Amino acid sequence: MTFESQAAQAPEDRPRRAPAKARWAIAGLWLEAAIFVLAMVDMFMEAHRKSSHGQSGAGQLTAMGLFFLVIAAFWGAGAVMAGRGARWVRVPAAALQSLFILGGLVTLIVALVAGDPIGIVVAIVYLVVPVGIVWLLLARESRAWMGG
């Protein structure tokens, strides 16, 4: 049975195990969810530190932490639904990854101009992960498994 013929099948008739590229894309979505959870914790810790020392800006950091929580929840939900073969997940996930790719390009340019080798490495990772997720989500096997 080919991946194309699987796409025509009802979801309950589709094989339970996702192809390798879809599994890697799902792992990438979980990785991004984890990164945003860590960023959220960092924002909350920094907000606590600022408020403990009477500095301003704790409210903005708390708001940013809550925003990161929403993004982490979105990526987690996307990973769960992609794991179930939901066809609607691919397009929004790939579209939002394009924003991360743009952010990675900006980060890379800033790091190159500043001559910051650690920043360059971080920017490259910041580019590779979303490019990889888009490529994996839009791969023929992933499209077929997710129903189109």
Q: Which of 26, 146, 111 is nearest to 77 (CA)?
A: 26
Which pLDDT value is given to residue 12? 56
Which pLDDT value is given to residue 2? 54
- Mean pLDDT (the chain) is 87
**Can you give the pTM of this predicted structure?**
0.79
- Cα–Cα distance between 80 and 105 in angstroms, integer? 28
Check pLDDT > 80 for residue 9. no
pLDDT in tens, 50-102: 988 888 888 999 999 999 999 999 999 999 999 888 888 888 999 999 998 99
- C-alpha distance from residue 34 to each of 24, 73, 104, 118, 127 (Å): 15, 10, 18, 21, 17
